[in-house]
Amino acid sequence: MPIGTRVLPWDSGWDAIKRRFPCAIAVLEVFLPYILTKPSLNAECQFCKIVKGDVPSFKLIETEYSCSVLVDVGRWTLSRGHALIIPKFHGEKLADIPDEYLNDTLTIAKKIAIAQGVEDYNILQNNGPLAHQEVKHAHFHVIPKPSTDEGLGIRWNSLTPSKEDLQMVFEEIIGRL
């Protein structure tokens, strides 16, 4: 109890707790609604509309946390069987998505990759415009690669960092983990 705070005989319940722990209560009042409710989907988001069933799609697997569909938009279909896995949590980037949703998407990606029946495939997830993300809802692609002509084509912009640069980056990342 903070210094100078007195417990009065009539102090009880929520008001007494608010007086004794004002900072903790302020934080709880802000975040409690998010903790107690499941996140809602964004009514304007195309992927949220697919998850809700508002947009016709070829749903492959649907769970409590994710929905997977075949890509049926001409210019975005990279190969036969190209699928999307969409978390049922509206977050723009991977870091915005809770772990239980991410765990589910990877399990679904594995099942779809096996069911596609090809030996080679890509699992792709882009974050932000520089990384070629076009829809502001984190999602994963499962892209079969049956031949060199079909599927995802990648060209790497390679760097040759010095050992000192690698050490510095290593220390920065370790310090943030």
Look up 139 and say whether it is catalytic.
yes
- Name the burial class of residue 151, with classes exposed (0-12), middle (13-18) and buried (19+) by CB atoms within 10 angstroms of its CB: buried
Task: Give me 5's structure tokens.
Answer: 């705070």
* DSSP category for residue 102: H
Query: Which of 82, 137, 139, 141 does the annotation list as catalytic?
Result: 139
Q: Are 123 and 85 in contact (CB under 8 A)?
A: no
Residues 6+ away with beta carbon under 8 Å from 93: 127, 128, 133, 138
By annotation, the residues acting in catalysis are 139
